[in-house]
Structure formats: C-alpha cells, structure tokens
Amino acid sequence: MTKLMYFAQLADALGKTSEQVTLPASAGNVKALIDWLGRRDEAYGKALANGKELTVMVNRAPATLETAIGDGDEVAFIPERVK
C-alpha cells in the first residue's frame, strides 16, 4: 500500500489528512497518481488540479510529476501558499 498525505487547504477540501491506497499498475509516477485520484473521485481532480500550485514529496524528498512511485512509498501533497 502507498500512504498519501494531504496538508492545509487540500486536507480541508478532501476531508482527510491521509489515506492508504493500493495503486493500480498505471499509476507509476506522480502525474499518473494525480490523474488516477481525479478519475476515482471528482473532488480529488479539483483539489489536485494536475499538480499545479502543489509541492509533492515522495518519501520525504522533493518530487516532480515524473518521479516514480510504488508500493510502500509515502506521497505528500502540500499546497503552495496563496500570495
């Protein structure tokens, strides 16, 4: 399982701070994970907005949309501050 964590207004929008998910084979990187979450639930699609204005960390290291993810990883979605 992969642990997903949501912070600040993102946690508020989704109604949770974290969850454990089993990733489909198609969700092998951060972008694919965001796409899958958006297809799974419209609220995720709106909240994650294809990675725009988000800092994503994979296993506590900065990540890009192309960063690989897999079973046992920890993915954190942190909204950037509104200026």
Residue 68 structural domain: 2-79
Burial of 42 (0-12, 13-18, 19+ CB in 10 A): exposed
- Which pLDDT tens digit goes with each residue over 18-44? 999 999 999 999 999 999 999 999 999
- Which pLDDT tens digit goes with each residue over 51-77? 668 899 999 999 999 999 999 999 999
End-to-end CA distance of the chain: 35
Report strand pairing: 54-58 vs 61-63.
Answer: antiparallel
Number of domains in the chain: 1
For residue 31, the domain's CATH number is 3.10.20.30
